[in-house]
Amino acid sequence: MKKLSVIKIGGNVIDNSEKLHQFLLDFAALPGDKILIHGGGKIATELGVSLGVETKMVEGRRITDIETLRVVTMVYAGLINKNMVAQLQAKGSNAIGLTGADGNIIKAVKRPVKDIDYGFVGDLDEASVSSDTLDSLLKAGLVPVLCAITHDGASQLLNTNADTIASAVAVAMSSTYDTSLVYCFEKRGVMRDIDDDQSLVPVIRMGEFETLKNEGVVSGGMIPKLHNAFEAIKSGVNTVYIGKADELPQIDQQNFGTRLIR
């Protein structure tokens, strides 16, 4: 099987033009087939403020009403996505920027209302990602750059968590590629002490996850990230990495961040 890297870049890097430039330089230099996935929450929030659209959050999750959907679509699918594609083209990487609606690549289902109405937020299942379309783009020598906007197949755009998209894409592609999923953000990986950069946990096996949660090493937003990562491994993804964006070149030596394995 050919190797494929599915890489998700976090908002804190996107918000910093110098860090983003360096990350895209490193990403472009990675050998083999690759897919990039991004969100961009802070920039969407700032634009929303300038347009008079209030940001509503519940437990760290954005409520996407119709006005917010317009803002995140403009920012994710427009400003951020096309800026990243243009930078990758300048770095010799033939990127193509896409939403889930383009080529019907990612079809989502609007999240049902339970205790909280999240608005126009999309959830994914095992049939959401069109691996054939992504495969055809890769075979054409293109580098797909996917933003966090999907669609429901009935003309409605939806805001979907970029971590979830990255996991779903990696799982979908794992039947035809030797796939690695890489989450890049501002920390070196999973840390025993969040304030100590030397406390990196280099490898976490599936059976160790619960222990680390009970010890408080894995907490907060890292819990769903690792849960999704191990679910991806169960579904065929070879390896998942979580690490610092500016250390991405070290991934070839398997010396990047925290490696999650079965």
DSSP characters over 40-72: -HHHHHHHHHHTT----EETTEE-B-HHHHHHH
What's residue 236's pLDDT?
Answer: 93
Q: Which two tokens stand for residue 255?
A: 């010396």
DSSP characters over 153-188: SSS-EEE--HHHHHHHHHHHHTTTEEEEEEEEESSS
Query: Which pTM was predicted?
Result: 0.94
Question: What DSSP state is assigned to residue 113?
Answer: P
pLDDT digits (tens, 9 = 90+) for 227-257: 888 999 999 999 999 999 999 999 877 789 9
Residues of the chain falling short of pLDDT 70: 60
> Would strands 61-62 and 258-261 be described as parallel, antiparallel, or unpaired?
unpaired
Q: Give dist(CA 198, CA 190) in Å, integer.
A: 11
Q: Give dist(CA 140, CA 138) in Å, integer.
A: 5
